[in-house]
């Protein structure tokens, strides 16, 4: 490259505005420089051409383009000496190159080389959505609009990192300042400008991405268990009188409340059928029988499935299909029949269980009717969340919305008439980045990021959009054919506890905000927080000034509330209720997963193993404050409690970040109460064999 076209080396970030004439390039460059208190450079071509027009009475000619590019880079290089953090450039060599192509259908090699090699950390492609402003040097609005795509095409052709900037002056500046701020963060974190643009175009939060990368590289600090929550020490056990009291309290006080059942339902059934799919991939029916395979591999799950095959609600449907397909089916050996049965439920288009969400699978049989988890949740919701203000909400995968909608249409009207039905999807912006085992960003063959879903913690964003006063959270696969009465009782009791606690908390907050308090009330509220809410207040509280005491009391009271059912520990995989120590040394009640704990530490392992209860995800919560305004639930998370998960894709090992779990770190700073509930309320279907358990079978079997 010619010496007079070379850019000066600098650590200053160069941001350039780029686009057709009269698209706001100058205004944006100037305003950005003012905002960031740094230098900007004007378009050299304008002053150059005005001088020619004045001296020679002519407009631009092809011979002027290279001097324009030289002049532009000269003032850019000079401005770098005065710039602070950023230099904002009104135009660049690529703009000049595009004009050369448009007006003269060619470009000099020197100019094209400069346009290609000049480096800017970001190009702002200024949109044509602002009014045309004519002057002596400009062509026309029509030309501007027609040339816009040529400008954009050149950015793509030369692989320049660019962002389209649209809107009025104020909107552009607001967007651009945030983009520049985020770009600086991304570059400082080791990302490239092209990677930043890809993240921006996918609506990713740069702060979260940077935190994810840091967590994946450095790891996540393990949660420190202090003790398991037990009956009388963090877990409430209701006697019959208390149970009936809270059931009645809910029934009496729910009438003016909006109720909603919130059901995470996007989960695929892949894991549910994993052992069957593994069998199909591994088994050769030409070489051995299924019994021989079971004996050879000691596959007890397959043995259980075969032994109970006639008890599955879909058994007769599958056999009927097989008989229609093969008139010799009844003459086949038992092993062949069972093999075809398994292949059919996994792969036949009429069943295809392996690729469907759990929510739509046949779970239970009632005489001649087979129903899905969706219908069971409607039946259950009608027992406690159905009223004039009743709602049922499913979080689903967008590709399955039609499947859900069609199935719900077929439900009996009496199940739907008192419930407003809604869906939401996991926000793609919550998908997380992945790194290879060498801490390189995982990308596909095209060089683009590979993102993974951020785990069930991403559903906090869905929950944050809900409007109901009281929400019942329960997983899609935790349904029962036979225990509706006990489930309803405890759901109402949990909600009754929530309503009573909420009423007391809100009343105290109203008193504190009226400034009508004295030391007696302060001590009463302190005792309520410690005894009823299981929140430990600093022992020095009584020594604080009254102003500080009030601030602390408000801090503990003005939060979302959750009441969580806990079942006795039956060695189910997953999390449980614990007292933990936070970074400040405070003890709080939390639901903690095994992945959050350092199980290599004997003391921590011992505490975890001594847990008496397990988290079944049976939660009733309130997400509004004492004035009826919704909390921003994102303000009450512990962002340091995410998960690093290790995976394998196409033979490549990688690690990915998952957000703090919905009922783990995502609710870490909620008011939390744990209440023991019977085991009969927890009947999840994690594998297909769980459907053989009594809770899912007709009671007379």
Closest CA to 674 of 531, 536, 578: 578
Same domain, 582 and 654: yes
**What is the per-residue pLDDT for 701?**
57
Euclidean distance between CA atoms 276 and 292, whole angstroms: 16
Same domain, 596 and 647: yes
- CA of residue 312 relative to chain centroid, distance: 35
Residue 586 predicted with pLDDT over 90: no
Same domain, 194 and 249: no
Same domain, 472 and 577: yes
Q: Where a domain ends, among 321, 355, 389? A: 355
pTM of the model: 0.87
**Higher per-residue pLDDT: 403 or 573:** 403
In a domain, 527, yes or no: no
The predicted-structure confidence for 539-580, as pLDDT tens digits, reads as follows: 999 999 999 999 999 999 999 999 999 999 987 667 899 999
In a domain, 176, yes or no: yes
**What is the per-residue pLDDT for 437?**
87
**What is the per-residue pLDDT for 389?**
78
In a domain, 254, yes or no: yes
**What is the per-residue pLDDT for 578?**
98
Range from 48-52, 222-226, 534-538 carrying the lowest mean pLDDT:
48-52
Residue 82: pLDDT band by 50, 70, 90 thresholds?
Answer: very high
Same domain, 282 and 264: no
**What is the per-residue pLDDT for 181?**
98
Radius of gyration of the chain (CA): 32
The predicted-structure confidence for 592-647, as pLDDT tens digits, reads as follows: 999 999 999 999 999 999 999 999 999 999 999 999 999 999 999 998 899 998 88
Q: Which domain holds residue 275?
A: 271-355
**What is the per-residue pLDDT for 648?**
80
The predicted-structure confidence for 660-685, as pLDDT tens digits, reads as follows: 999 999 999 999 999 999 999 999 99
**What is the per-residue pLDDT for 137?**
53
Number of domains forming the structure of the chain: 3
Same domain, 608 and 488: yes
Same domain, 493 and 597: yes
| 171 class by beta-carbon count within 10 Å (0-12 exposed, 13-18 middle, 19+ buried) | exposed
**What is the per-residue pLDDT for 140?**
61
Same domain, 285 and 259: no
Residue 427 predicted with pLDDT over 80: yes
Same domain, 153 and 132: yes
**What is the per-residue pLDDT for 386?**
76
Give me 36's structure tokens.
């960031």
CATH of the domain at 586: 3.90.550.10
Give one DSSP letter per residue of 273-315, joined into a string: GHHHHHHHHH--TTT--HHHHHHHHT-HHHHHHHHTGGGSTTH
Strand 86-90, strand 13-18: pairing: parallel
Q: Where a domain ends, among 355, 379, 411? A: 355
**Sequence-separated (6 or more) residues with CB below 8 Å from residue 220:** 640, 641, 642, 643, 644
In a domain, 601, yes or no: yes
Same domain, 455 and 588: yes
């Amino acid at each position: 490259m010619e010496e007079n076209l070379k850019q000066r080396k600098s650590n200053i970030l160069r941001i350039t505005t780029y686009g057709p004439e009269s698209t706001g390039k100058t205004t944006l460059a100037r305003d950005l420089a003012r905002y960031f208190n740094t230098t900007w450079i004007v378009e050299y071509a304008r002053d150059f051409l005005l001088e020619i027009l004045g001296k020679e009475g002519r407009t631009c000619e092809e011979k002027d383009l290279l001097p324009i590019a030289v002049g532009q880079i000269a003032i850019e290089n000079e401005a770098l000496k005065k710039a602070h953090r950023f230099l904002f450039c009104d135009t660049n060599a690529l703009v000049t190159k595009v004009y050369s192509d448009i007006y003269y259908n060619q470009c000099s090699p020197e100019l094209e080389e400069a346009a290609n090699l000049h480096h800017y950390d970001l190009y702002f492609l200024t949109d044509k959505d602002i009014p045309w402003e004519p002057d002596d040097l400009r062509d026309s609005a029509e030309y501007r609009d027609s040339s816009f795509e040529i400008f954009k095409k050149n950015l793509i052709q030369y692989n320049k990192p660019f962002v389209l900037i649209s809107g009025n002056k104020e909107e552009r500046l607001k967007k651009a300042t945030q983009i520049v701020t985020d770009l600086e963060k991304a570059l400082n974190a080791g990302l490239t400008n092209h990677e930043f643009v890809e993240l921006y175009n996918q609506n990713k939060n740069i702060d979260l991405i940077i935190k994810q990368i840091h967590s994946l590289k450095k790891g996540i600090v393990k949660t420190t268990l202090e003790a398991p929550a037990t009956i009388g020490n963090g877990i409430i056990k209701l006697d019959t009188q208390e149970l009936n009291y809270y059931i009645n309290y809910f029934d009496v006080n729910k009438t003016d409340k909006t109720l909603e059942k919130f059901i995470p339902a996007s989960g695929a059934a892949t894991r549910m059928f994993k052992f069957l799919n593994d069998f199909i991939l591994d088994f050769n029916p030409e070489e051995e029988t299924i019994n021989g395979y079971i004996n050879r591999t000691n596959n007890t799950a397959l043995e259980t499935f075969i032994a109970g095959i006639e008890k599955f609600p879909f058994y007769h449907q599958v056999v009927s299909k097989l008989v229609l397909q093969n008139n010799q089916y009844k003459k086949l050996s038992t092993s062949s029949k069972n093999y075809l049965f398994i292949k059919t439920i996994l792969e036949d288009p009429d069943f295809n269980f392996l690729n469907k969400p759990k929510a739509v699978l046949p779970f239970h049989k009632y005489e001649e009717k087979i129903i899905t988890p969706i219908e069971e949740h409607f039946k259950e919701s009608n027992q406690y969340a159905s009223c004039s203000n009743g709602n049922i909400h499913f979080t689903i995968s967008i590709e399955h919305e039609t499947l859900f909608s069609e199935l719900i249409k077929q439900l009996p009207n009496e199940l739907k008439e008192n419930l407003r039905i809604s869906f939401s999807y996991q926000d793609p912006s919550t998908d997380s980045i992945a790194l290879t085992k060498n801490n390189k960003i995982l990308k596909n063959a095209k060089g683009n990021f590979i993102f993974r879903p951020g785990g069930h913690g991403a559903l906090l964003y869905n929950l944050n959009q809900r409007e109901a006063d009281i929400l019942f959270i329960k997983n899609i696969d935790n349904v029962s054919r036979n225990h509706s009465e006990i489930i309803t009782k405890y759901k109402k009791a949990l909600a009754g506890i929530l309503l009573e606690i909420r009423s007391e908390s809100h009343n105290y907050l109203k008193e504190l905000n009226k400034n009508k308090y004295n030391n007696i009330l302060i001590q009463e509220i302190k005792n309520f927080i410690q005894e009823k809410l299981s929140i430990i207040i600093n022992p020095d509280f009584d020594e604080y000034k009254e102003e500080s005491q009030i601030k602390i009391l408000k801090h503990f009271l003005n939060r979302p509330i959750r009441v969580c059912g806990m079942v006795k520990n039956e060695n189910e995989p997953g999390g449980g209720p614990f007292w933990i120590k936070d970074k400040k040394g405070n003890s709080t009640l939390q639901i903690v997963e095994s992945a959050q704990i350092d199980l290599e530490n004997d003391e921590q392992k011992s505490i975890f193993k001594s847990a008496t209860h397990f988290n079944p995800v049976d939660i009733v919560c309130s997400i509004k404050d004492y004035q009826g305004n919704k909390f921003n639930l994102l303000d009450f998370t512990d962002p340091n409690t995410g998960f690093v998960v290790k995976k394998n894709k196409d033979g490549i090992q990688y690690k990915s970040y998952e957000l703090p779990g919905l009922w783990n770190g995502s609710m870490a700073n909620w008011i939390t109460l744990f209440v023991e509930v019977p085991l009969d309320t927890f009947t999840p279907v994690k594998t297909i064999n769980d459907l053989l358990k009594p809770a899912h079978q007709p009671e007379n079997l």
